[in-house]
Structure 1
Amino acid sequence: MDFLRPVVVLSGGFFCLAGCPPGPTPTPGTDIVYDSVFDLQSTASSEIRSDSLDSTARSISSSSGSLDRGSNTIRLGNLDGTINGDRTRVAFDEGGVASITQGATEYVALFIAEPQNADPFFGIFGVPTNLSEVPDSGTATYDGVGSASIQIIDGTSFYELIGSASIDVNFAQGDIDMTFSDLNGQRRDGVAAPVDVSNVAVVHVNDAALVDGQFSGGVAEFSSTEVSAALSGTEVVTTSGGFFGPNGDEIGGVLLIDDTSGAGTLLVQGSFVAD
């Protein structure tokens, strides 16, 4: 994170299906253990927060839970599981697994979940910043190279991409602008073999509202020389995320741009982390 004042191949939500209650940023006075999710020497237990996206239901949700590093157990929303020693895989007690990717951050990670009895989902989870530590003035920029996972669906064309996230935060105005670029990966057209693609698109989500350490909403912009579709102007933009680690050092979230209910054909969804 770079403050400008003196002083986000992953798809699918984690541990909480759509409809779970929101997971608030811890309030002042809450005892937060700021050990890295990937600190393999720590045995501490931390409160955690997740933001997830169910691709099938096209819905976003957030939830809270805990990570017990000593017993290698995790609880988030209504799902319990066991996390392996290197913190890259979760086995759910009710069946199914989740894979975890570190990205460019220590306190928040990307995941893909495939529960046995529910739709797959993806998102981010981590140790949330205590609300009293989230700045209330100034601006900051968070960058994550290769830490954004974006899917683009245009008719029968499906793009699965990894790229960079640049997140500009104005704490005083409660405003967040997100840019996802350098998006590289593969395109699949129906049953045809996948094709490698690069610099597919640039996705902007501007003017997301920051309230009590969490952000939502926004206005989307989409440009591409690869994808023929453009946003129609009637798209629905949904985002959810927040700050992680001490003093809001890291940020993570999920986004859904759905332009398929009217004349549009474009669907953009993804997750990201940045510091």
Structure 2
Amino acid sequence: MRLTSVLLASSLTLAACNDGGSSALRAFADPSSSRVSALTVQRLDAASGTVTNESGTLDRAANRFAAGAQNGDIDASRMMVTLDGAGGTIDLTGTQDFVRIFTSQPVAGPVTRGTVGVATPLGQLPTTASYVGTGDVDIRDGFDTYELAGSMTANADFGAGLLSVEIRDLDGTRTNFGGSVAVTDVGVIQVTDAMIAGNTASGGSVSFTSGAVTFSGSATSQHEAGFFGTKADEIGGVLAIRDGATRELDAVYIGD
């Protein structure tokens, strides 16, 4: 990640709880830490086509994890959460220091996925930052379903309060009644003018340019993102596009 000078902020209310100052932030899976860190969560519910920005905590000493309304025990490797109540699991993947991609599979309730990580304290937000990473994209277009992966770039201007994101080089498979075939460079997702508020961002203009799948002018979109680690070192986000009952796109992205 590339960044420039740090913005001053009078409130540190979103700084990691018991994580000391921002310089003391601990990596998500730090095996030597017993600190409690404040988390932000970007959740995608594909069944309803909605995305949300939530808060949570990681209590490393007690091996407890909370993300929005979901709570449970997290293993020592910080790769799986066993949910309280009716049960189920949250799988955590990724190689970044502070943010992970999650898939939540509760016994009762919808399967959701997204990003979760150690939130950047407000007093350590830089003036600008840029990111590179990856994006996972699922598309349903009538009877065709696409499972794709591509590259992600993002630019955050914390001074202006704006975030832009691009996911391209989308390769993977297309599946229908005839079977599955490999596809390449299916399209480009762009998010412009998402509004930054503290260590999260939301909204913006979301578009998908493709020669294979065309969304109409009446399509609707949602987008949520978060900034993680010291000086917003990392980013994660989710987005959804819906166009009637037969055409939809869901994406999760992560980078540093």
Residue 207 of structure 2 aligns with which residue? 221
Q: Which residue does the alignment assign to 1:204?
A: 190
| Cross-structure match for 1:269 | 250
Distance 1:90 1:51 in 2: 17
Equivalent residue number for residue 2 of structure 1: 2
Aligned mates of 1:31, 1:258 — CA distance in 2: 34
In structure 2, what is the equivalent of residue 240 of structure 1? Answer: 224
Taking a change above 3 Å as real, the CA distance of residues 172 and 96 of structure 1, as seen in their structure-2 partners, is same
> Which residue, 109, 118, 130 being the options, matches 1:118?
109
Match of 2:58 among 67, 87, 97: 67
The CA distance in 2 between the partners of 1:251 and 1:57, in whole Å, is 24
Deviation at 1:39, TM superposition (A): 1.7
Which of 136, 152, 155 is the aligned partner of 1:168?
Answer: 155
What is the TM-score when the length of structure 2 is the normalising length?
0.87
* 2: CA distance, partners of 1:44 / 1:64: 17
Aligned to 2:79: 88
Q: Which residue of 2 aligns with 1:22?
A: none
Per-residue CA deviations over 1:213-268 (Å, capped at 9, x if unaligned) read: 3211121232234x2x312222212111121111111111111122226xxx5321
Partner-residue secondary structure (3-state), 2:231: helix
* Shift of residue 110, structure 1, vs aligned partner: 0.4
> Matched residues in 2 for 1:89 and 1:241: separation?
22
The SS at the match of 1:194 is: strand
* Aligned pair partner of 2:143 in 149, 152, 156: 156
For structure 2, the 5+ residue unaligned runs are: 20-24
8 Å CA contact 2:11, 2:123 repeated in 1: yes
Letter matched to residue 216 of structure 1: S
The offset of 1:36, in angstroms, is 0.9
TM-score under structure 1 normalisation? 0.82
Aligned pairs (5 A) from 1:31-110: 32=16, 33=19, 34-94=25-85, 95-103=87-95, 105-110=96-101
Aligned mates of 2:42, 2:130 — CA distance in 1: 21
Other structure's SS at 2:123 match: helix
Residue 178 of structure 1 deviates from its aligned partner by 0.7
After TM superposition, the structure 1 stretch with the greater mean CA deviation from structure 2, 171-180 or 109-118, is: 171-180
Q: Percent identity?
A: 32
- Structure-2 separation of matches of 1:214 and 1:39: 23
Q: Distance in 2 between matches of 1:154 and 1:30?
A: 40
* CA-to-aligned-CA distance 1:179-234 (integer Å, 9 cap, x gap): 001222222215x5433333222111112112233211121232234x2x312222
C-alpha contact (below 8 Å) 2:140/2:146 kept by paired residues? yes
Note closer, same or farther for the CA distance 1:222–1:49 as it changes in structure 2 (3 Å cut): same
Segments of structure 1 that go 5 or more residues without pairing to the other structure are: 8-25
> What SS does the corresponding residue of 1:28 show, helix, strand or coil?
coil
Aligned length: 245
